[in-house]
Amino acid sequence: MARIHLLLLLLTAFVALALADSAPTFCKCTCFKNSTIIALDADSTSGTQGADSTSLHRFLARDGDDDKDGDEAPDSKTASRGGAAPCSACTKAFCLNQDLLICDGAEEEDVTTMCFQRDSNKDKIIVWAFIVGTVGLLGWAAFKRLRQLREDRRQSMEYSHINDPR
């Protein structure tokens, strides 16, 4: 029975590590001082996230012959790797190919891009564990204080004052 618990614990640890290893990657597209954020992680490139992911897939699959200013689309070797460097897909041409409403009529000079990552699941777990631990310790300290106050009050009620017969 102890082996089953140990195996279950190890399996849970491996699942937690698998979920916590990757931080989501985003591309911030700014057109005419208006911006939007598009997810670039592996899940969004698999075609399960809707129109944005199909646009990204089309962008990664096409040739980059018509791109200018060093913002080139990945070549066929990079596209076949399937997300080896998600930030390489965050280009001006990528933002223009997303058919965003904020980029209507925009040229490449009007577009700026920025690639960034948010906190990973591991970071979130660490922060939440710290918060829960701190709140738990504060709750335990408050509980002990209330218990001590009740005990002191109970002891003071048990003893009756002696009236002086004078």
Tokens matching residue 4: 């089953």
Query: What is the predicted pLDDT for the residue at 47?
Result: 36
Beta strand pairing status for 25-31 and 111-117? antiparallel
Q: pLDDT (tens digit, 9 = 90+) per residue, 89-111?
A: 899 999 999 888 998 888 889 99
- Whole-number Å distance between alpha carbons of 79 and 60: 5
pLDDT given at position 51: 40
Query: Which is more confident, 73 or 38?
Result: 38
Residue 6 — pLDDT band, cuts 50, 70, 90?
A: confident
* pLDDT reading at 23 higher than 50: yes
3-state class (DSSP) for residue 89: helix
DSSP category for residue 25: E
Q: E strand or H helix at 108, and its extent?
A: none
* Alpha helices (H) along the chain: 2-20, 42-45, 51-61, 76-81, 92-97, 121-158
User: What is the pLDDT confidence band of residue 19, given thresholds at 50, 70 and 90?
Assistant: low
Percent of the chain with pLDDT over 90: 28
Domain positions in the chain are 25-118, 121-159
Whether pLDDT at 83 is above 70: no
Count of C-beta atoms within a 10 Å radius of residue 72? 16
As a whole number of angstroms, the distance between CA 39 and CA 118 comes to: 10
Look up residue 154 and give its two tokens. 């109970």
Structure tokens at 46: 């698999």
User: What pLDDT, in 10s, does the model give residues 24-45?
Assistant: 889 999 999 999 999 886 544 4
Q: What confidence tens digit (pLDDT) does each residue in 115-153 have? A: 988 877 788 889 999 999 999 999 999 999 999 999 988
Give the Cα separation of 96 and 99 in Å (integer): 6
Q: What are phi and psi of 112, to 5 degrees?
A: -125, 150
68 in Cβ contact with 53 (< 8 Å) = no
Supply the pTM of this predicted model.
Answer: 0.43
